[in-house]
Amino acid sequence: MKDFKRAVLAVLSSIALTTGCSPFVDNNMIEEIAPVIFWYVADAGEGKLKISTVVPPLVREQKRLLTMQVDLLKQGGKDFNLIYYRELKVGQLRMVLINEEIAKKGLIRMVNTLLSDPAISPRLFLAIVQGNFDDYISAQLQKQPNLDYFLYRMFKHYEKTNQGEMTIVNLHDFLKRYYSPMPYPNLPVFKVSSNYFSYVGTAFFGRDKLKAIVQNMDDQIYQLINNDKYLKHLAIPALSTTLGQVRSSVQMKMNQDASSISVQVDLTGRIEEYQGDKNLLEGEQLADLRKEIESYLEKQTAELLKKMQRWKVDPLQMGSLSLGPLKKPLREKEWLNTWEHVKFDVDYRLHLQPSATALPVGR
């Protein structure tokens, strides 16, 4: 009997060990914790970071903006607990907003620190901020107490609907591009003041350092040729035209010596607004407008690609076109030297769908 009892105790002990029981247990009493939705990280000078967050208490009390100056990112999370009576938890961290000046110096250490925390999801959204985000939060908390949650829902909405209206990147996406053979990640850029928080465009990175930002028409073109999403509206002020429900299909080909790349873009959409002089009920004038749109987009796309060459970035990952079963892959430095001299042949084909209403004459 004694041997049987010893055997049972041994089995129970082994089960406890293999199921990961630990003497160190996190405090998760709901009255004593406060989940954090976002961090804002800025340069505090002299090698220090300024980290801010909004405390979202689980009881009814006024929200507060907490700010700390620290040497290390994780130190900020620890020091917040020394100035707030609840323990802050990062398990619900959904956004990290990074000041533009830090992005210019490099993000990989910060990104790897976030990834190494098992409590933080790789679906965490990353974004660049121009301006002082603390001023915006301080001014808006009284008007919108749940502002941090509303910002998260905005990111989540555009990620889910794939509208292509703005660039949405999470931690996993950034690192996937960073560690690819062509390490040119991108992030969305927002501009803030005390009164507004608005989307600016897309930031291009060379490895982990911010190199350039595209906006307006350049950003819309990047959205079209970078992925298979669609643009709910493609505004072309130069032609007094707005296209709606625009979907793109992109084919890129590189010649044998990597001296030129052809880019063929098939667009499908409909004209939703026209303020020009053409009578779109006449087939010939509608065809003329279609050709003007194609020519305009071809010119703008070629100019955007040339800008990427000057910035020494390849966010479209065109260098991957050099890969093949019988080809030796180009290294990053080799590709940058080649990329600088590549010629482009851009061809757009616009397929207009019938509009719900007729647009005969704009003016």
* Percent with pLDDT over 90 in the chain: 48
Domain count for the chain:
2
Q: Which residues pair with 250 in a beta bridge?
A: 265
Beta strand pairing status for 241-254 and 38-45? unpaired
Residue where a domain stops, chosen among 153, 183, 214: 214
The DSSP call for residue 282 is S
Q: How confident is the model at residue 311 (pLDDT cuts 50, 70, 90)?
A: very high
What CATH number does the domain containing 361 carry? 3.30.300
What radius of gyration do the chain's Cα atoms show?
26
By mean pLDDT, which of 57-61, 117-121, 161-165, 229-233 is the weakest?
57-61
Domain that holds residue 48: 31-214
In this prediction, residue 92 carries a pLDDT of 73
> What's the CA gap between 251 and 300, in Å, rounded?
17
- For 238-258, what is each residue's pLDDT tens digit? 999 999 999 999 999 999 888
Q: Give 170-211 pLDDT, tens digit per residue.
A: 999 999 999 988 899 999 999 998 888 999 999 999 999 999
Q: List, in sequence order, every residue forming a beta bridge with 192; answer none if it has no partner.
A: 197
- End-to-end Cα, the chain, rounded Å: 100
Residue 322, SS3? helix
Alpha-carbon gap, residue 11 to 62, rounded angstroms: 51
Q: What is the pTM of this model?
A: 0.84
State the average pLDDT for the chain. Answer: 82
Position 277 scores a pLDDT of 93
Q: Is the pLDDT of residue 269 over 90?
A: yes
Structure tokens, 262: 């052809």
Copy the structure tokens of residue 227: 């992925």
- 82 with 165, same domain? yes
Flag whether 13 is in a domain: no
Decide if 245 contacts 163 (C-beta within 8 A): no
Partners of 48 in beta bridges: 45
* CA 163/CA 178 separation, integer angstroms: 24
How many other CB atoms sit within 10 Å of the CB of residue 256?
7
In a domain, 221, yes or no: no
- pLDDT for 357 equals 53
Question: Which amino acid appears at position 359 of this protein?
Answer: L
Q: What is the pLDDT of residue 338?
A: 92
In a domain, 361, yes or no: yes
Instruction: For residue 75, tell me if it sits in a domain.
Output: yes
- How far is 73 from 90, CA to CA, in rounded Å? 12
> Is there a single domain that holds both residue 280 and residue 180?
no
Same domain? For 189 and 261 the reply is no
